[in-house]
């Protein structure tokens, strides 16, 4: 039976993890994700799981590495500066093909920046972040409900592909309260056996987990295997919300907080006689290139809105393949785009004044 709660995004994310069967959490305090770690300190105990407040983000992500080695569903969370510290661990998780969920409740940077919501970590999340040729799956929630739903899905994806999955949220989504609905009896999704996990060599040969490949050509073969996996994920796991995109003369592309703002702008643009649509990527990696490429076949214009100086816009340009039809409106350093400005720029893109 579905039950309704009033929840912050951070707590919805944590509960989504608990319901997905996450039984290991390690983290370190940082604003604006502190509700998440506090919630986990209670819920992991209630579920007989493991909660550790680590000495650093480095230690936290490596504790998660260890838990994943042992076969547990494990998660860590942080906000931008802390996620930078976790990149070493994420690269190792990717290299060792270990499933884990990492939550980034983004704040403004660079450096210590501020605690305001921002989207300046798009490049870091989707283009690698750590060293080496790798990708992680990046999910972008735009509501408290999606903070729960996508985190719940993240664990199944991580296990299915043996890959780290990042929830790329922001301080606004993390801290705001909204109704949250889920089935009180919901069971963990996509639970699979993990014969590769290290639990002791009982009844089988000894196993190892490693990202080090020293033999002639061995690392190249390992990388080819990783790339094959990434191609398969890109083929099957792309997710985006398309709203009023049929016959749209201008399509706004935005994720997370600007994504939900843009949806309201699309309706207001219609009232003003501008046929506008929205594409809201839900997977940022793999990015919905094909969705956009299809929509770009005519003369449709695109307006990318971000809480950054312009990062996702590069992927949109790659998909549209006509820079003259792609414009950008963004605010970096904690600024939030204004609805009026989104509307004005969308209309301007098709030569209209509103």
Partner 1 sequence: MKDVATHYCAGCGHGLVHRLICEVIDELRMREKTVAVAPVGCAVVAYDYWDFDTTEAAHGRTPAVATGIKRVLPDRLVFAYQGDGDLAAIGTAETIHTANRGENLSIIFINNGVYGMTGGQMAPTTLLGQRTATSQFTRRREKEGFPIKILEMLASLDGVAYLERTSLHSPKTVNDTKKAIKKSFQTQLDGKGFSMVEVVSPCPTYWGMSPVESMHRIETEVVKTYPLGIIKESK
Q: Which residues lie near partner 1 (CB under 8 A)? A: 23-24, 26, 50, 52, 54-56, 58-60, 62-72, 74, 88-89, 92, 96, 198-203, 206-212, 214
Joined tokens for residue 310: 């312009």
CA-to-CA separations, 132 to 48, 203, 215, 325, in angstroms, rounded: 36, 35, 18, 33
- The alpha-carbon radius of gyration of the chain (Å, integer) is 21
Closest approach, Cβ 37 to partner 1, in A, equals 16
Cα 259 from Cα 263, distance rounded (Å): 7
Residue 251: strand pairing partners:
277, 302
Q: Which is nearer to partner 1, 14 or 52 (CB)?
A: 52
Closest approach, Cβ 2 to partner 1, in A, equals 32
Closest approach, Cβ 296 to partner 1, in A, equals 42
Q: Which is nearer to partner 1, 56 or 339 (CB)?
A: 56
Q: Which is nearer to partner 1, 96 or 144 (CB)?
A: 96
Closest approach, Cβ 225 to partner 1, in A, equals 17
Q: Which is nearer to partner 1, 211 or 223 (CB)?
A: 211
Cα 280 from Cα 244, distance rounded (Å): 12
Closest approach, Cβ 11 to partner 1, in A, equals 23
Contact 135, 90 (CB under 8 A): no
Closest approach, Cβ 28 to partner 1, in A, equals 11
Cα four-point dihedral sign 287, 293, 294, 295: positive
Closest approach, Cβ 159 to partner 1, in A, equals 15
Q: Is 185 helix (H, G, I), strand (E, B) or coil?
A: coil
Q: Which is nearer to partner 1, 100 or 250 (CB)?
A: 100
For the sheet containing 100-106, what is the strand order?
A: 50-53, 24-27, 74-78, 100-106, 164-170, 137-139, 283-285
Cα four-point dihedral sign 24, 286, 306, 84: positive
Q: Which is nearer to partner 1, 203 or 273 (CB)?
A: 203
Question: Dihedrals φ, ψ of 178, to 5°?
Answer: -150, 165
Residue 77: strand pairing partners:
103
Cα 207 from Cα 100, distance rounded (Å): 20
Q: Which is nearer to partner 1, 65 or 155 (CB)?
A: 65
């Amino acid at each position: 039976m579905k039950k309704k709660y009033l929840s912050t995004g951070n707590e919805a994310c944590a509960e989504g993890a608990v319901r997905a069967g996450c039984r290991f959490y390690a983290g370190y305090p940082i604003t604006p994700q502190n509700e998440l770690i506090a919630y986990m300190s209670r819920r992991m105990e209630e579920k007989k799981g493991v909660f550790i407040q680590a000495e650093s983000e480095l230690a936290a992500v490596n504790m998660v590495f260890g838990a994943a080695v042992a076969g547990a569903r494990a998660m860590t969370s942080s906000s931008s500066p802390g996620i930078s510290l976790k990149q070493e661990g994420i690269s190792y998780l990717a290299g060792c093909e270990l499933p884990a969920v990492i939550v980034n409740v983004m704040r403004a940077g660079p450096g210590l920046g501020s605690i305001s919501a921002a989207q300046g970590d798009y490049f870091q999340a989707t283009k690698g972040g750590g060293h080496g040729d790798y990708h992680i799956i990046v999910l972008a929630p735009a509501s408290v409900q999606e903070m729960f739903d996508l985190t719940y899905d993240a664990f199944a994806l991580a296990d299915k592909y043996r890959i780290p999955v990042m929830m790329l949220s922001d301080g606004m989504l993390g801290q705001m309260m909204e109704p949250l609905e889920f089935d009180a009896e919901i069971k963990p999704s996509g639970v699979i056996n993990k014969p590769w996990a290290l639990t002791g060599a009982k009844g089988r040969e000894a196993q190892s987990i490693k990202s080090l490949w020293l033999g002639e050509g061995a690392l190249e073969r390992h990388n080819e295997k990783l790339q094959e996996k990434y191609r398969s994920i890109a083929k099957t796991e792309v997710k985006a919300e398309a709203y009023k995109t049929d016959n749209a003369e201008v399509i706004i592309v935005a994720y997370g907080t600007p994504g939900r703002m843009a949806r309201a702008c699309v309706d207001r643009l219609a009232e003003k006689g501008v046929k506008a649509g929205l594409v809201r990527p839900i997977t940022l990696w793999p990015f919905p290139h094909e969705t956009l490429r299809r929509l770009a076949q005519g003369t449709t214009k695109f307006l990318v809105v971000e809480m950054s100086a312009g990062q996702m816009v590069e992927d949109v340009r790659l998909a549209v393949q006509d820079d003259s039809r792609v414009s950008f409106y963004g605010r970096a350093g904690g600024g939030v785009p204004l609805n009026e400005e989104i509307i004005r720029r969308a209309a301007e893109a098709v030569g209209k004044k509103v």
